[in-house]
Amino acid sequence: MAIKKQPLVEEQTGPVINTNGPPPAVDISGLWAGYNRLPALEEVTFQVGQQEVVGIIGPNGSGKSTLMKSILGLVKPWRGDILVFGQPSSQQRKQVGYMPQIEDVEWDFPVTVDDVALMGRYARLGLLRHPSSEDREAAHAALQRVGMYQHRHRLIGELSGGQRRRVLLARALANNPRLLLMDEPMAGLDATVQHRLLDIMDDLRAEGTTILLSTHDLSCVSTCAAKVVCLNRRLVAFGPPAEVLTETVLNETFGTHLLLVHMDGQAYAYQHHTHPSSSDDKLDDKVGRNR
């Protein structure tokens, strides 16, 4: 059942903990977060069950990246609670893999593909520890999984955009995470690479990994996600894509300047920029497609 504009219960002072079964993979309750006293997220509450794939959609500056960074602990919430597998997110960093937006990475840094994948093991290494043979094997297995093992000795600056995204995914997978956060993983990829990435996501979910991904591609949300978070600083709607991705909800999520263009049996959504975009989400005009 879709939930629209789900408010917090006033008496609730913390996240709801399920004592009758496994805890949610992610439990967010009354989350406020932002930068320089300007809120990026306001009163956000929802839960992600274990082994679910959940998509997050929203316009520029809607708080999608801030939400992921808050789960990671890179952004400290102003108010509210975040639990990961029933524990404070700050205690669960080893359980989480993160694939950032490609724009957030300095690609001129002189490191190899192998080096980048190995960075995914750093959460387990701790200070002053050198990578072990087990760490290197895990990094190589992650590169093999995304089809980048044969490029392991190349500098990351030499790679194409699609190859760079696969290396970032390998870095996230090297830690064998139970929760995988993916920030705009499909942006700029051709159809072949997108399908390969979707196949990897299907395999990961089947193996027990929970996936939370932000995207502007509505077709991705419709086909691969069990639930979708419609975000515009506040939670607009949350539920199964078939129930949530309606014209009313999309217009409320993206504002009154959402333009849907139907072409070749698909619906393309474009956002008209009438306000300065936030630095929170570096996105282009195209906000997705819905098959």
What pLDDT, on the 0 to 100 scale, is given for residue 260? 56
pLDDT in tens, 255-285: 765 655 554 444 445 555 544 334 344 333 3
Residues 291 and 284: their CA atoms lie apart, in Å, by 20
- Between 228 and 130, the more confident residue is 228
Strand order across the beta sheet in which 234-239 lies: 3-4, 234-239, 227-232, 53-57, 210-214, 179-183, 96-99
Mean pLDDT on 22-34: 95
Q: Residue 19 gets which letter from DSSP? A: S
Mean pLDDT on 88-108: 85
Percent share of the chain, pLDDT over 70: 78
Kindly report the pTM of this predicted structure.
Answer: 0.80
Residues 51 and 169: their CA atoms lie apart, in Å, by 18
What pLDDT, on the 0 to 100 scale, is given for residue 126? 61
Whether residue 285 contacts residue 271, with contact meaning beta carbons closer than 8 Å, is answered with yes
What pLDDT, on the 0 to 100 scale, is given for residue 258? 60
Percent share of the chain, pLDDT over 90: 51
Domains of the chain, earliest start first: 24-123+132-290 (3.40.50.300)
Residue 232 has pLDDT above 90, yes or no: yes
Residue 61 has pLDDT above 60, yes or no: yes
Mean pLDDT on 197-209: 92
What pLDDT, on the 0 to 100 scale, is given for residue 257? 57
DSSP strand pairing (26-35 vs 38-48):
antiparallel
- Between 86 and 126, the more confident residue is 86
Q: What does pLDDT average to over the chain? A: 81
What pLDDT, on the 0 to 100 scale, is given for residue 285? 35
- Between 246 and 11, the more confident residue is 246
What Cα–Cα distance (Å) separates residue 147 from each residue in 109, 142, 150, 175?
A: 22, 9, 8, 17
What pLDDT, on the 0 to 100 scale, is given for residue 65? 92
Residue 83 has pLDDT above 60, yes or no: yes
pLDDT in tens, 124-165: 666 556 788 899 999 999 999 999 999 999 999 899 888 888
Residues 89 and 8: their CA atoms lie apart, in Å, by 20
Residue 231 has pLDDT above 60, yes or no: yes
Of 20-24, 167-171, 260-264, where does the model show the most confidence?
A: 167-171
Predicted confidence band at 195 (pLDDT cuts at 50, 70, 90)?
Answer: confident
Residues 274 and 255: their CA atoms lie apart, in Å, by 10
**CB neighbours (10 Å) of residue 90?**
11
Range with the poorest average pLDDT among 105-119, 164-178, 264-278: 264-278
What pLDDT, on the 0 to 100 scale, is given for residue 1? 45
